[in-house]
Structure 1
Amino acid sequence: MRTELHSRDSLFDTEPPGLASRLVGLRPYQLGATPYEHPAEPPFVVFAGGRGQGKTTLLRALRDAYHGHTPIALIDGEERQFTAPPPERPARSWSPVGQALTAAAEQLAEPVRGAGRIAFPRLSSGLLAVAAGGWGDREAPHIRLEAERILLLNEADSWLPGFAGRWVGKVISKLVASTNGTGPVVEPIIEATLEAFTEGVSPAHRRLRRAAAWYRDYPNADGSPKLALILLSRHFAAGGASRRHAERHLVRALLADLDDAYTGVVQRSHRHGRPVLLIDNVQEPAGLGLLEPVLRDRADGIGDQAVFFAALRGYAHPALRNAGRLALPEAARETGWRPGTSPSSRALLLSLPPLTAGGTPRVDEGRPR
């Protein structure tokens, strides 16, 4: 791709490799591998600039460059779907972060060249527990629609085709049989979910059982996945700091599911590079709700291999006070980034140079130089 303005070549160049190639491990529009600049932990890259500086153009260009080659998702914190719950969804079981995780996982699950869909059993079981906290006496058709969207995140290519559909049927049947329309349904839904995890001996069911076991470490769960998911639902519904605690675990679940897709000889032989998450308007609640938990977990030694590129309106934010700082052209060949001990030091803030006299940034079609 030919790029113009703001030294876009520092991001998209292939010879020598630009920043995107060095972090993702793949050249734009190609499956050609590039050595990682930061093999242990990539920085959380944030493009900083004012309105009209071309940040959105950069993120869309990154999506186009890697779509179909490695799992990639793009969300915009200002989109309507991340600013308020839909009319049929109670506020206690909805948040911008939960919606952003669902939207990101749906995009990341898409098959890429040489590899099938990624399944998200940890994330989907957590999202299902959260959604169930708002179901109560609601109509079954609405519940079915929400459950289907969440549970389809477990549908992996070549693993039990149609499994998610059968699982939804089990969950709904359990709900109808276990409730009288007046009480909470969180426990019946969680029980049905865990029962679906334990049935069967296929590789898909083994993957689901590993996902259930992952929740044993949830605080105060005493090693019980069921209690963990019940607590997660309660913490989310409580709002405030309790909700942020639950959301941090949901973000962690997404990244653990992604890591799972790259674990093992077979997975590594089919998947190249790293998965990529793109966040426009990261200063909005949906964006900050992803950025801050990732930075905190990385600072606490809970690592992941996802590559994040985000766009920030402005040149500073409290969540990025200790981030590394460079102008985008300075990252063309090497960032020199080294994380410190604080969460915000896990980020690298790249300021965009002022626009030249040409006006609006654009990305021309074509192959990388």
Structure 2
Amino acid sequence: MHTGLHGTGALFDTDPPGLAPRLIGLRPHEAYATPYEHAGVPPFVVFTGGRGLGKSAVLRELREAYRWHTPVALVDGEDGQFAAPPAERPADSWSPVGQALTTAAEQLAEPVKGAGRIAFPRLSSGLLAVAAGGWSDRDVPRIRQEAERILLLNETDSWLSGFAGRAMGRVVAKLVASMSRTGPVVEPIIEATLEAFAEGVGPAHRRLRRAATWYRDYPDAGGSPKRALTLLSRHFRAGGDSRRHAERHLVRALLADLDDAYAGVVQRSHRRGRPLLLIDNVQEPAGLGLLEPVLRDRADGIADQAVFFAALRGHAHPALRNAGRLALPDTARETVWRPGVSPSSRALLVALPPQDPAT
């Protein structure tokens, strides 16, 4: 298959299948299935090298090759939206990782051939708890805007039409009711979210209720989703290691929502291949904040089925010290990769060939 990128046949070829179709399970630009390599948990592939090797172009080509056939998101760690919070957003309720998760989920939610939108109730409830930590100023228009963006992650084409509007109304009503008090409004907002998830009947609403209880296992939550989300918001605002702990659970929530979209016979019959997350400039905070939790969870036995391709400026990074290494041509027919016990061994560094100036 011609991609316009010199020397990338080992990644995109279909006969025999290249690295991308073997990991994703679909041929590029087609809905035809390809047998999985690493059918358990795939390697976290990181393209390495200096400027001018076409790493960003490869990620864009991957997005174009698979969008509309399987859920795809492309996040660039150097994008300005990840540099600092908006002027009206308190810094302690914002981070590059939280922004990257929102951006990725919005892209992954888009419908693909044969399947509708994906909902992200676990992620949205966590993001809402975090955002509520910055709502003590009672700026209702801003709060409404922030809440709507997060709650729209729960919309699908086939069910719960209008959920975001109803849930947002309940959240804002809770906020207005609490305006006579001072201090944070985290707990009322969390209560409103959990109540919105609990209403209704049918398979879709049962899925929302499962999502609402997913946080029960959060450390020190005592099995209470409300306490879990309150702790997550508190840990996020604390910064440092506490924030990284909260962000790890938010990354896990996104992947759990993706797994849920593929759960069951009906969902699997409509969704082919694996979801694809692409991270450019993974060495930046937004990128590392996605990469490190995924590697750590996979090393701890918390599996997911997402395929990650990332681009690293340079040839090495401390977060990838035990990663495997291959040149792209060596991945043409199979990926000789076996993870070890360390989180970074769950990654595979792939060196791209130099671009031919004549092409």
TM-score, structure 1 length as denominator? Answer: 0.96
Q: CA deviation at 1:6?
A: 4.7
**Distance (Å, rounded) in 1 between the aligned partners of 2:190 and 2:182:** 18
Give percent identity, aligned residues only: 79
> Matched residue of 1:278: which SS?
strand
Deviation at 1:235, TM superposition (A): 0.1
Q: SS of 1:358's equivalent?
A: coil
Alpha-carbon distance, 1:5 to partner: 4.9
Provide, for residues 244-272 of structure 1, a one-character-per-residue CA deviation record: whole Å limited to 9, x for no partner.
00000000000000000000000000000
Contact between 1:136 and 1:181, CA under 8 Å: does it hold in 2? no
Partner of 1:90: 90
CA distance in 2, matches of 1:146, 1:5: 40
Residue 102 of structure 1 aligns with which residue? 102
Q: 1:157 deviation in Å? A: 1.8
- In 2: Cα distance, 1:242 partner to 1:27 partner: 41
Kindly state the Cα deviation for residue 198 of structure 1 after the two structures are TM-superposed: 1.4
In structure 2, C-alpha distance between the alignment counterparts of 1:357 and 1:262, rounded to whole Å: 43
Query: 4+ residue stretches of structure 1 with deviation over 4 A?
Result: none
Contiguous gaps of at least 5 residues in structure 1: 360-369
Contact kept? 2:74, 2:280, Cα under 8 Å: yes
C-alpha contact (below 8 Å) 2:102/2:150 kept by paired residues: yes
| 1:249-303 deviation digits (Å, cap 9, x = unpaired) | 0000000000000000000000000000000000000000000000000000000
Report if aligned partners of 2:138, 2:179 keep a CA contact under 8 Å in 1.
no
- What is the one-letter code of the residue matched to 1:123? L
- What one-letter code is carried by the residue in structure 1 that aligns with 2:282? V
Report if the CA contact (8 A) 2:197-2:212 is conserved: yes
In 2, the alpha carbon distance for the partners of 1:317 and 1:310 equals 13
Post-superposition offset of 1:200? 1.4
Q: Is the partner of 1:310 in helix, strand or coil?
A: strand
CA distance in 2, matches of 1:82, 1:258: 23
Aligned to 2:228, what secondary structure does the other structure show? helix
Partner secondary structure for residue 312 of structure 2: strand
2: CA distance, partners of 1:252 / 1:358: 44
- Look up the equivalent residue of 1:325 and give its one-letter code: R
Matched, 1:299 2:302: no
The aligned counterpart of 2:229 is 229
Letter of the structure 1 residue corresponding to residue 353 of structure 2: P
Give the distance between the partners of 1:143 and 1:215, measured in 2 at CA.
24
Q: Which range moved further: 228-237 or 129-138?
A: 129-138
The one-letter amino acid paired with 1:333 is: R
Q: Which residue of 1 aligns with 2:256?
A: 256
Residue 181 of structure 1, CA deviation: 6.1
The 2-side partners of 1:27 and 1:269 are apart by 17
- Provide the C-alpha distance between the structure 1 equivalents of 2:139 and 2:212, rounded to a whole number of angstroms: 28
Q: 2:209 corresponds to which residue?
A: 209
What is the alpha-carbon distance in structure 1 between the residues aligned to residue 101 and residue 114 of structure 2? Answer: 25
1:341 alignment counterpart: 341
Contact 1:137/1:181 (CA < 8 Å) preserved in 2? no
* Alpha-carbon displacement from aligned partner over 1:143-166 (angstroms, at most 9, x marks no partner): 000000000000122112111111
Partner residue, 1:141:
141
Give, in whole Å, the separation in 1 of the partners of 2:176 and 2:138: 11
- Once residues 198 and 356 of structure 2 are traced to their aligned partners in structure 1, the CA distance between those partners, rounded to angstroms, is 60
After superposition, the CA RMSD in angstroms is 1.0
Paired residues of 1:137 and 1:182 also in contact (CA < 8 A): no
Distance 1:128 1:203 in 2: 24
Cα offset for 1:353?
A: 2.2
SS of structure 2 residue aligned to 1:131: helix
Structure 2: give runs of 5+ residues left out of the alignment: none
Q: Structure 1 6/330 Cα, relative in aligned 2: closer, same or farther at 3 Å?
A: farther
Secondary structure class of the residue paired with 2:100: helix
- 2:162 corresponds to which letter in structure 1? G
Per the TM alignment, residue 212 of structure 1 is displaced from its structure 2 partner at its CA by 1.2
Deviations 1:311-352 (A, max 9, x none): 000000011111110011111111111111000000000011
Partner of 1:267: 267
Residue identity in the other structure for 2:325: R
Q: Which amino acid aligns with 2:183?
A: G
**Distance in 2 (alpha carbons) for counterparts of 1:50 and 1:105:** 29
Aligned twin of 1:243: 243
2-side partners of 1:190 and 1:61: how far apart? 40
Per the normalisation by structure 2, the TM-score is: 0.98
Q: Superposed, which structure 2 residues align to 1:1-369 within 5 Å?
A: 1-180=1-180, 182-358=182-358
Question: Does the C-alpha gap of structure 1 residues 211 and 327 become closer, same or farther in structure 2, counting only changes over 3 Å?
Answer: same
Per-residue CA shift, 1:3-47, capped at 9, x if unaligned? 355521000000110000000000000011000111001000000
Whether the aligned pair in 2 keeps the contact of 1:323 and 1:346 (CA below 8 Å) is yes
How far the C-alpha of 1:205 sits from its partner, in A, is 1.9
CA distances 1:110-142 after superposition (whole Å, capped 9, x unpaired) = 000000000000000000000000110231010
Query: Bigger shift: 131-140 or 305-314?
Result: 131-140
